[in-house]
Amino acid sequence: MVDDTQRWDLSEELNKISTSYNYMLQYLSQGALDPQRDNILAQIITDAYQLTDKTVIALAGPQSTHIFYQRNQQYKNQQLKAMVDEYVVKRGTLQLMDGNNDETIRNNDDETYILRQCENLESDIFNKIWSSFPATTADVETITALLANEELPAHLKSLVLSALTLGLSKFFDAQKLKLLLNSYVTLCDSELKLRALIGAVIIIFLYRNRIAFYNDVVDAFKQLEDEPDFLSDMRLIYTRLIHSRNTENISQKLHDIITPEINKMSSDLLNKIKGKSPGSLEISEIEENPQWQEWLDKSGITNKLEELNELQLQGGDVFISTFSKLKSFPFFNTLSNWFLPYHDKTSITKSAFGDKKHPLTSLFSVMPILCDSDKYSMLLYMASAPESQRNMLFQQFEAQREQLQELQSEEAQSVIKMRDNIVNRYIQDLYRFFKLFSRRREFMSIFDTDIKLSDVECLKPYINDTSTLSVIAEFYFKNGFYEDAIKYYRDMISNRDADPHVYQKIAFAQQSLGKLRDALKNYSRYELVNNADTWNTKQMAQCYRSMHNYDMAIEYYNKALELSPQSVNLCLNLGHCYLDKGEYDNALQQYYKADFMPKAKHRAWRPIAWCSLLTGKHEQAVNYYEKIINDDTPSSQDYLNYGHVLQSMGRIADALTQYRKSLGLDGNDQEAFSRLYFDDAKYLVNKLGIPSSDYALVLDAVLQTK
């Protein structure tokens, strides 16, 4: 690859690496002791990594259409220090203009022009940092000075930290990573510190197989231990990264379940409830109407909205589905804007609301539930809305101001809550970039797999405690990521202080994945600790039944019934096992027993009726199917089974009547009905002796008679 670049500097680097390696081999072959051999080998490996990355950039840069290579070519001859110096001058001019309160002297057009120049330079600084590889000594010094300069705005420093993270996600650079790590130690602003640590943690995870060779980076990370909030910050970051895994599930749930249900509420229905003409309803009035609330409850929408609220309280990203549609504004074509912290002194604010400060712009600052990217989406949407709609939205937001300020006040009183909110919002910003940016496929997304930080040797000591692992395992378990949950539960077991119920949860996850033998092993491990757990015994019985090991299933259902003798479910399941095994009389005994239990509620009627048919007790079967049809809510399957009973008794005309009712309840789907009908031939033809030709003729009579 180096030869293909035809660059002498890269060839020289390769020769130096080869020479160092050959010297090391010579010393080794001569039997010489070399205590520095491991360090030299690590240096050779890291130099080879960096040379490979340089070579890829040299080959791809001039011809690739990817944004990294385009920006690398665009800025490679520009000096970062010159950009920052120019920015400092422009920023000083802007501050002088902004501090002049004399409207007769102040030139708003000039101020907007300088503001846009500052924003363009911020974008240039971002692009220069993220697309430069490797970082030069001069660049490192410039970035260090910029971050330490208290006169420069926090939003620029935030952009610099995000640029370092983004650049590292393309090509690993130890100097950039050490800048992030040092920033966590040296910066005072909590938002900046946490941005730096989040970026560093993500990058260390992405390059987890390479990081061990960089002793200076590992040492720099260990120095973070002295920071008072480091341990809690690591656990917050880990937890929030894990929560991001559920974002697509939440978005899918909103798209497929909650939103369609709400959209079913037509204006006619609302008008009918309120008794008003179209267009005269107020949202507040609808919420106050008991009839409306009753309709919401009956429709199930209330439960869905409560579920949505619960997801939000748990830190779920419930807004991405909505705001993904608001990322098409030209503002988001500029890469750096995806990482720009929200502030109300931007050119888009001026262009949207004029030179006079609009109260909406400051209101967004006190919205802790929205990440910065979504705040800009909302701002741009409001700016494009008609004045009347904008004012209406403002009034709605203004009504919530007090509540939002209370949330901020609560956050301020709790350091953990405040830091958790910062972590959550920044990770949501990162998620939106990697999932919604128009050129996202040119980047390696960090959110597509399980971010298992405990697999990284230098991170493991800080997040491998049982408490943290338990939170993560429970999150994965609750949301159905069973493979991931199993990994974390096993880590808890390896810590030797896990609760025995962990074995149960591993078993249930394995059972849900269809790994029944593994599930039985872990249920059995829990059984050694507590053999009087009904739920555990029942699950073991279910596993055996699913494996068609009916004898063991029956044994465990009987054990479970000894522990819970009044359980209708256990009694029915034991009957089902006997039914599966072909022991119909034993099955009937269990069904009768279940039917006499106080909480049975007709649940045993269907299995009794079916077993009665299979054992030739036709009159009893008829009685039970009549009870089902008259006293319960019959299904198409009930009418089908009743038809089977009547056909086996020779009452063909009556059987046809029931079959046609079954067909009608299934929407007259003849193909589906025929499939179900012939599936039952193994019972009626093979076991009960109905001639196969007669059985087929009955079906034709059902389908052809109008």
Instruction: Write the single-letter amino acid at 181.
Output: L
Give 60's pLDDT tier (boundaries 50, 70, 90): very high
Mean pLDDT value of segment 633-642: 90
Structure tokens at 60: 């791809």
Mean pLDDT value of segment 257-267: 45
Out of 46-60, 66-80, 291-305, 374-388, least confident range = 291-305
Most confident of 45-54, 385-394, 575-584: 45-54
Mean pLDDT value of segment 272-285: 36
Whether residue 573 has pLDDT greater than 80: yes
Whether residue 250 has pLDDT greater than 90: no
Residue range 173-186, pLDDT digits in tens: 999 999 999 999 99
Give 40's pLDDT tier (boundaries 50, 70, 90): very high
Residue range 190-199, pLDDT digits in tens: 999 999 999 9
DSSP-derived secondary structure letter, 454? G
Residue 74: Cβ within 10 Å count: 13
Give 200's pLDDT tier (boundaries 50, 70, 90): very high
Whether residue 630 has pLDDT greater than 60: yes
Q: Quick one: pLDDT at residue 438?
A: 93
Instruction: Write the single-letter amino acid at 127.
Output: N
Residue range 326-348, pLDDT digits in tens: 899 999 999 999 999 998 788 88
The residue that leads in pLDDT, 122 or 364, is 122
Mean pLDDT value of segment 403-429: 78
Q: Quick one: pLDDT at residue 274?
A: 34
Whether residue 381 has pLDDT greater than 70: yes
Q: What is the pTM of this model?
A: 0.79
Q: Quick one: pLDDT at residue 283?
A: 34
Q: What share of the chain is helix, strand, coil (3-state, %, to 5)?
A: 75, 0, 25
Most confident of 95-109, 288-302, 553-567: 553-567
Q: Quick one: pLDDT at residue 410?
A: 62
Q: Quick one: pLDDT at residue 498?
A: 77
Q: Quick one: pLDDT at residue 32?
A: 83
What secondary structure does DSSP assign to 128-160, as a single string?
Answer: HHHH-SSPPHHHHHHHHHHHH-TTS-HHHHHHH
Mean pLDDT value of segment 462-478: 88
Q: Quick one: pLDDT at residue 293?
A: 46
Whether residue 217 has pLDDT greater than 60: yes
Q: Quick one: pLDDT at residue 667?
A: 85
Whether residue 105 has pLDDT greater than 70: no
Task: Decide if 417 contacts 410 (C-beta within 8 A).
Answer: yes
Residue range 430-442, pLDDT digits in tens: 999 999 999 999 9
| Calpha distance 243→476 (Å, rounded) | 9
Residue 397: Cβ within 10 Å count: 18
Closest by CA to 265, choosing from 294, 306, 301, 308, is 301
Task: Decide if 244 contacts 427 (C-beta within 8 A).
Answer: yes
Whether residue 267 has pLDDT greater than 60: no
The residue that leads in pLDDT, 497 or 170, is 170
| Calpha distance 247→259 (Å, rounded) | 16
Q: Quick one: pLDDT at residue 416?
A: 85
DSSP-derived secondary structure letter, 340? P
Mean pLDDT value of segment 80-98: 93
Mean pLDDT value of segment 28-41: 89
Give 384's pLDDT tier (boundaries 50, 70, 90): confident
What radius of gyration do the chain's Cα atoms show?
A: 35
- How many angstroms separate the Cα of 326 from the Cα of each of 322, 330, 436, 500? 8, 10, 10, 48
Q: Quick one: pLDDT at residue 292?
A: 38
In the chain, the percentage of residues whose pLDDT exceeds 90 is: 59
Out of 276-290, 397-411, 645-659, least confident range = 276-290
Mean pLDDT value of segment 479-484: 89
Distance, C-alpha 119 to centroid of its chain: 33
Whether residue 355 has pLDDT greater than 60: no
Using left for φ > 0, alpha for ψ between -120 and 50, and beta otherwise, residue 33 falls in beta
Distance, first Cα to last Cα, the chain = 78
Out of 339-343, 402-406, 480-484, least confident range = 402-406
| Calpha distance 130→92 (Å, rounded) | 25
Give 256's pLDDT tier (boundaries 50, 70, 90): low
The residue that leads in pLDDT, 531 or 410, is 531
Question: How much is the mean pLDDT over the chain?
Answer: 85
Q: Quick one: pLDDT at residue 319?
A: 67
Give 287's pLDDT tier (boundaries 50, 70, 90): very low
Q: Quick one: pLDDT at residue 475?
A: 86
Mean pLDDT value of segment 212-227: 94
Out of 127-131, 284-288, 412-416, 567-571, least confident range = 284-288
Give 262's pLDDT tier (boundaries 50, 70, 90): very low
Residue range 291-318, pLDDT digits in tens: 434 544 554 545 544 554 555 545 556 5
Q: Quick one: pLDDT at residue 296?
A: 44
**Which secondary-structure segment (H or E) carries 636?**
helix 636-648
